[in-house]
Amino acid sequence: MLKSQKILKTFLYVSCILLLISGTFSGITASPARANTLQAQENPSGITGLTDGIIHKGQPKKQIPGNGQPYQIAQGITVSGNQGSAEWIFTADETAIPHTSLTVYVCGVGNSYVTYTITIYGAGTYVLNASQYGAFNQGLALEAPEQPIALSGSVRVHYVDESGHSIAAVENLKTLSWLEGDPVPQYQTLNTPLYRESITYNGEMYKLDTNLIPSNANGFYLPGQTIDITYFYKLSAPLEVSGDVVVRYVDEEGKSIANDKKLSTLSWFVDETAPAYQTLDTPLYQERINSKGKVYELDVNKIPDNANGFYMANQTLSVTYIYKLREIPEKPEEISDIPKTRDDFTLETKAVSPKPLDKSYAKEKLPKTGERPTSSIVSIAGSGILLALYYIIRRN
């Protein structure tokens, strides 16, 4: 009986060796196998004791029982298998790190193991065929792989005055991540919108102090750190701005019918309220314009919205009045809008209110130049006759 047991045991070992030599691993290349107990004990790779699904002292860091449940063994990688089945299923998702290598130990009969090196190349399913052990799958042990360490860093840009007080919002660059051992990403603030030569703050202008450009304006991210970049600014003279307003007079087609009127150019500081202007209720507001013998009347339905308003910094505002052509003037005197002289007003007054003629004055006609009135001659002649008669009587 004892001899039969030894023969059976020897047969099983020989069978295992033959199966290991002829075994396959679909999708994953197997490493040379070590299957007999003697080799496992002499070169156990840290494995001792029975393969009962429990992690024993000195065994690999993880041990997966063949209970059909998927176990995560690395980032984005899980493995599952059923006791008695010859296959182990490795599944990798999009988060798995390419070229991740795993060393696994398929647990078989007694205290024997088969070692495989598994390399994950990307998302997908990898099938390990452990048919060398037939239906004797008792679990899987593996060494925890060394995962690349993910690193990250951030950068902030500050804008301050000479006293260190902030004069603009802090700019945060995008936080970047990289793997340990990979090239560290760079950042840049010079020659970018982050490099600001001037800043307006509370109505005052600040100029960049080019003598204090930070040494870390360009550089590399630092793992686990936030890099602070500080630009310093000096207060400059108050910023002065100016504006203009032009009043235009056009017909319905937009053609000018009178000279533009430009208001005075005004200046003010940026922290002050812009000055106001007005064209309504001023001589700039013209209800009627005479242009080339034609009379134009203001279209009151199109009074510009900016007829009154405020100057705008470093801009010229255009206030446009639109006029309609009057086809037939109502009165001849309305044809012209030229200001009337004093004599014109006198003549106009006489034409409107003429005085009645004095009939008595009409009866006594005035003599012409060099002509004496008839009544005067008669008087002189009569006086002469009377004097002559008086002289004759005295002589007699």
User: Is the pLDDT reported for residue 170 higher than 80?
Assistant: yes
Please give the pLDDT value at position 250.
Answer: 95
- Range in 143-147, 190-194, 272-276, 351-355 the model is least confident about: 351-355
> 24 near 128, Cβ under 8 Å?
no
Instruction: Tell whether the torsion through CA atoms of 252, 254, 255 and 261 is positive or negative.
Output: positive
Residue 17 gets the label, from left (phi > 0), alpha (psi -120 to 50) or beta, of alpha
Q: Categorize the per-residue pLDDT at 58 as very low, low, confident or very high, splitting at 50, 70 and 90.
A: very low
* pLDDT tens-digit readout, 76-113: 888 888 877 777 888 889 888 888 877 777 765 555 56
- Range in 27-36, 200-209, 234-243 the model is least confident about: 27-36
User: Is the pLDDT reported for residue 8 higher than 80?
Assistant: no
- Considering the domain architecture, whether residues 137 and 256 belong to the same structural domain is answered as no
- Considering the domain architecture, whether residues 157 and 253 belong to the same structural domain is answered as no
Percent of the chain with pLDDT over 70: 61
- Considering the domain architecture, whether residues 210 and 136 belong to the same structural domain is answered as no
Q: Categorize the per-residue pLDDT at 281 as very low, low, confident or very high, splitting at 50, 70 and 90.
A: very high
Please give the pLDDT value at position 326.
Answer: 85
Residue 346: burial class (beta carbons within 10 Å; 0-12, 13-18, 19+): exposed
Which residue, of 143, 160, 179, is where some domain finishes? 143
- Considering the domain architecture, whether residues 127 and 246 belong to the same structural domain is answered as no
Answer yes or no: is 374 within a domain. no
Radius of gyration of the chain (CA): 58
Answer yes or no: is 122 within a domain. yes
Answer yes or no: is 361 within a domain. no
- Range in 15-29, 179-193, 239-253, 283-297 the model is least confident about: 15-29
User: Is the pLDDT reported for residue 24 higher than 50?
Assistant: no
> Which CATH number goes with the domain that contains 252?
3.10.20.320
Averaged confidence pLDDT in the chain: 74
- Considering the domain architecture, whether residues 41 and 112 belong to the same structural domain is answered as yes
Answer yes or no: is 381 within a domain. no
CB atoms within 10 A of CB 120: 23
Mean pLDDT of 372-396: 64
- Considering the domain architecture, whether residues 68 and 108 belong to the same structural domain is answered as yes
Segments forming the whole domain that contains residue 172: 150-235
- Considering the domain architecture, whether residues 9 and 133 belong to the same structural domain is answered as yes
Please give the pLDDT value at position 234.
Answer: 94
Answer yes or no: is 342 within a domain. no
Q: What number of CA atoms fall less than 13 Å from residue 57's CA on the CB side? A: 0
Answer yes or no: is 116 within a domain. yes
Please give the pLDDT value at position 144.
Answer: 56
* pLDDT tens-digit readout, 120-136: 888 888 887 766 554 45
Instruction: Tell whether the torsion through CA atoms of 29, 32, 33 and 34 is positive or negative.
Output: negative
Q: What pTM value is reported for the model? A: 0.35
Answer yes or no: is 201 within a domain. yes
- Considering the domain architecture, whether residues 42 and 159 belong to the same structural domain is answered as no
Which structure tokens are listed for 157? 């840009």
| Total domains, the chain | 3
- Considering the domain architecture, whether residues 115 and 165 belong to the same structural domain is answered as no
User: Is the pLDDT reported for residue 213 higher than 80?
Assistant: yes
- Considering the domain architecture, whether residues 33 and 154 belong to the same structural domain is answered as no
Please give the pLDDT value at position 145.
Answer: 56
Which residue, of 126, 143, 160, is where some domain finishes? 143
Q: Which residues of 358-385 are buried (b: 16+ CB within 10 A; e: fewer)?
A: eeeeeeeeeeeeeeeeeeeeeeeeeeee
Which residue, of 213, 235, 257, is where some domain finishes? 235
Per-residue H/E/C for 202-213? CCEEEEECHHHC
User: Is the pLDDT reported for residue 392 higher than 60?
Assistant: yes
For residues 206 and 57, the model is more confident at: 206
Please give the pLDDT value at position 329.
Answer: 56
- Considering the domain architecture, whether residues 171 and 75 belong to the same structural domain is answered as no
What is the rounded distance in angstroms from the CA atom of residue 319 to the CA atom of residue 307? Answer: 6
> Which CATH number goes with the domain that contains 212?
3.10.20
- Considering the domain architecture, whether residues 132 and 167 belong to the same structural domain is answered as no
Q: What is the DSSP-derived secondary structure letter of residue 175?
A: P
Answer yes or no: is 365 within a domain. no
